[in-house]
Amino acid sequence: MDLELPIYVAGHRGLAGSAIVRRLQRAGARDIVVRSSAELDLRDQDATDAFFRTVRPAYVFLAAAKVGGILANATYPADFIRDNLAIQTNVIHSAWKHGVRKLLFLGSSCIYPRDCPQPIKEEYLLTGPLEPTNEAYAIAKIAGLAMCQAYRRQHGFDAISAMPTNLYGPNDNFHPEHSHVLPALIRRFVEAADTQAGVVTVWGSGKPLREFMHADDMADASYFLMNHYSDVAPINIGSNDEVSIADLAKTVAQGAGFKGQLAWDTTKPDGTPRKRLDSSRLLDLGWKPVVPLREGIDDAVAWFRQHAA
């Protein structure tokens, strides 16, 4: 990447986009372009096209998306499929049309079939049925990935797709019901520790396994891929840090200083039993994550206490 040229980070206020902005600043990028959703609604095709026509970014990190946890996905599937299809279609098309040199599209590990072999290799995409709780979101993300591939094939557009594992860190969505598990637990355990509550309720059976990655590691990988990867195949960004939800809850409880008991609400869905990414394609290129889960959770707890609590 030429760090003198304008770089557009779509979704700069979110967990992934804000981490990418921090990474680019650290690299010395001169012209990082951002727009809040109030300034530019990426679901609006004309507004998005006018932005690309006038600003003419050279590089695009497409981290703008409607995201949410298992309950939000199950409750608002129409919003998840519509908003994400619109955002990515508008951005990828206008980026190509107005001469962007390279674009990175961020997907998600939930695009892979629910019951595929573990760890999950990139080539398992579209080999089986999806997890129903986030199917609308996953189908939108698969369409974005396919669009990057199609624009590369037909137009020679250098669009790459990366599939990060479950992310957490600063600027996460800490909504009590609609967030992902890690921010939800951070909020619940911090609030319980502060009010000296005796019991904290966690959803599901505690048995599902999830792999977590700090957003700073994902941002570092994204920057690395923009410099070193140019291929039609999507590439996984995983940490190999896999834990059960039960162990995760214990770690967050410790990090938050909660001393009470855990209760399990088994009326809430477990979702997919396991989704660990095989990241050997990325690791073989010479990149590796550096934030251990325990340290990352402490960092996210501290961030939440400072900003969101």
Interface residues with ligand GDP (CB under 6 A) are 69-70, 110, 134, 166, 179-181, 184-185, 202-204, 208, 210, 245, 268-272
112 flagged as catalytic: no
Closest residue to ligand GDP: CB criterion: 69
Closer CB to ligand GDP, 130 or 160, in the complex: 130
The reply, when asked if residue 93 is annotated as ligand binding, is no
Beta strands in the chain (DSSP E): 7-10, 32-33, 59-62, 102-106, 159-164, 166-168, 199-203, 209-214, 235-237, 242-244, 261-265
Helix axes 181-195, 293-307, angle to 10 degrees: 60
Judge contact between 91 and 42, C-beta under 8 A: yes
The reply, when asked if residue 101 is annotated as ligand binding, is no
Cross-strand partners of 201: 263
Closer CB to ligand GDP, 66 or 180, in the complex: 180
Q: How far is the CB of 187 from ligand GDP (least distance, A)?
A: 9
The reply, when asked if residue 210 is annotated as ligand binding, is yes
Cα 184 from chain centroid (whole Å): 16
Closer CB to ligand GDP, 86 or 184, in the complex: 184
Q: How far is the CB of 12 from ligand GDP (least distance, A)?
A: 23
The reply, when asked if residue 16 is annotated as ligand binding, is yes
Q: How far is the CB of 306 from ligand GDP (least distance, A)?
A: 21
Residue partners of 74: CB distance under 8 A and separation at least 6? 133, 134, 269
Judge contact between 120 and 109, C-beta under 8 A: yes
Residue partners of 185: CB distance under 8 A and separation at least 6? 202, 248, 249, 252
Q: How far is the CB of 249 from ligand GDP (least distance, A)?
A: 7
The reply, when asked if residue 17 is annotated as ligand binding, is yes
Q: How far is the CB of 71 from ligand GDP (least distance, A)?
A: 6
Please name which of 176, 162, 166 lies closest in space to residue 134, comparing C-alpha atoms: 166
Which residue in 137, 168, 223, 229 is the catalytic one?
137
Closer CB to ligand GDP, 152 or 210, in the complex: 210
Q: Rounded CA gap, 290 and 86, in Å?
A: 34
The reply, when asked if residue 286 is annotated as ligand binding, is no
Closer CB to ligand GDP, 8 or 212, in the complex: 212
Judge contact between 114 and 127, C-beta under 8 A: no
Residue 61: half-sphere exposure toward Cβ, Cα within 13 Å: 33
Which residues form the catalytic set?
Answer: 137
Task: Cite the annotated binding site by residue number.
Answer: 11-17, 106-109, 141, 164-167, 180, 188, 203, 210, 270
Task: Cite the annotated binding site for NADP(+) by residue number.
Answer: 11-17, 106-109, 141, 164-167, 180
Task: Cite the annotated binding site for substrate by residue number.
Answer: 188, 203, 210, 270
